[in-house]
């Protein structure tokens, strides 16, 4: 004898209509609150515009632009992503009278409410070019009157050894990728704000790491003084030096 199995649920397992209505209401409320809390205030539209080419001088302090060498640039596929994610990208090499060179790369985006800047982090950008990238520590640098959290790396490709210093900013807060940046994003999001921001990177080509990092800090101190005051905190953050 064939036994037919009912396709209807056991009455004991059915949710009461009242509970179903409550769940539906809660889902609708969650969607409404989520939409209501979505950041809408773009900080980039309320402040002086970032114009990398104009605000970063071609000559400042002891440094002058050297057009014979360009910093490490992303491969074409990664560059296509950057063109979408960033409003502006600046890549220059500077030289002083002693022949010391510093490569500067800045990527600016008017919307930093997500993890877009990750594609331009040196760890990924250099690795995509075939470099082996090693961490060289994290800390903070007193640059001008500002305390800037920085990450230091060493990129190696054959005989080329390139010490790197970098940080990221959200609006006027300098930070590093990871939990620090995520907490800043949450803070701005809870205030209904969409921060702009940038990734600032300097590097030198030398096997002498301590000397390279010292040259980079001197370069950054002079760059800090040269960037217009009205936008300086957007490049270096606003935390006062200790």
Helices 209-226, 229-236: crossing angle, 10 deg rounding:
150
Domain ranges of the chain: 41-236
Pairwise pLDDT comparison (14 vs 99), residue with the higher score: 99
Nearest by Cα to 205 from 134, 154, 135: 154
Q: Into which CATH architecture does domain 41-236 fall?
A: 3-Layer(aba) Sandwich (3.40)
Residue 54: per-residue pLDDT: 96
Give me the helices (H) in 37-173, please: 52-55, 76-85, 122-128
Q: Worst-scoring range by mean pLDDT, 16-20, 56-60, 145-149, 188-192?
A: 16-20
- Each residue's pLDDT tens digit, 136-163: 899 999 999 999 999 999 999 999 999 9
Residue with tokens 């491969």: 75
Cβ neighbours for 37, distance < 8 A, ≥ 6 positions apart: 189, 190, 192
Residue 198's nearest CA partner among 227, 172, 168, 228 is: 168
Q: Where are the beta strands (DSSP E) in 16-96?
A: 41-42, 59-60, 63-65, 88-95
Tell me the pLDDT tens digit for each residue of 82-119.
Answer: 666 677 889 999 999 999 999 999 999 887 766 555 55
Q: Which residue has the higher pLDDT, 27 or 172?
A: 172
HSE-up of 9 (CA within 13 Å, CB side)? 6
The whole-angstrom separation of Cα 174 and Cα 148 is 6
Contact partners, residue 215, CB within 8 Å, separation at least 6: 100, 102, 204
């Amino acid at each position: 004898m064939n036994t037919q199995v009912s396709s209807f649920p056991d009455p004991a397992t059915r949710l009461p209509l009242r509970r179903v209505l409550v769940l539906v209401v809660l889902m609708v409320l969650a969607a409404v609150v989520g939409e209501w809390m979505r950041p809408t205030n773009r900080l980039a539209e309320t402040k002086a515009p970032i114009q990398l080419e104009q605000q970063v001088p071609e000559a400042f302090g002891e440094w002058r632009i050297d057009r014979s060498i360009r910093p490490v640039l992303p491969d074409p596929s990664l560059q296509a992503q950057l063109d979408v994610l960033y409003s502006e990208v600046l890549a220059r090499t500077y030289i002083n009278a002693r022949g010391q060179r510093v490569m500067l790369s800045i990527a600016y985006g008017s919307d930093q409410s997500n993890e877009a800047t990750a594609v331009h982090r040196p760890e990924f950008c250099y690795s995509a070019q075939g470099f082996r990238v090693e961490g060289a520590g994290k800390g903070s640098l007193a640059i001008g009157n500002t305390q800037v959290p920085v990450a230091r790396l060493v990129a190696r490709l054959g005989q080329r050894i390139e010490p790197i210093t970098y940080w990221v900013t959200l609006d006027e807060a300098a930070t590093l990728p990871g939990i620090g940046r995520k907490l800043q994003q949450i803070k701005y999001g809870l205030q209904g704000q969409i921060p702009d921001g940038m990734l600032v990177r300097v590097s030198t080509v030398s096997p002498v790491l301590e000397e390279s990092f010292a040259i980079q800090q001197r370069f950054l101190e002079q760059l800090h003084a040269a960037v217009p005051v009205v936008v300086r905190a957007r490049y270096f953050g606003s935390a006062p030096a200790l």
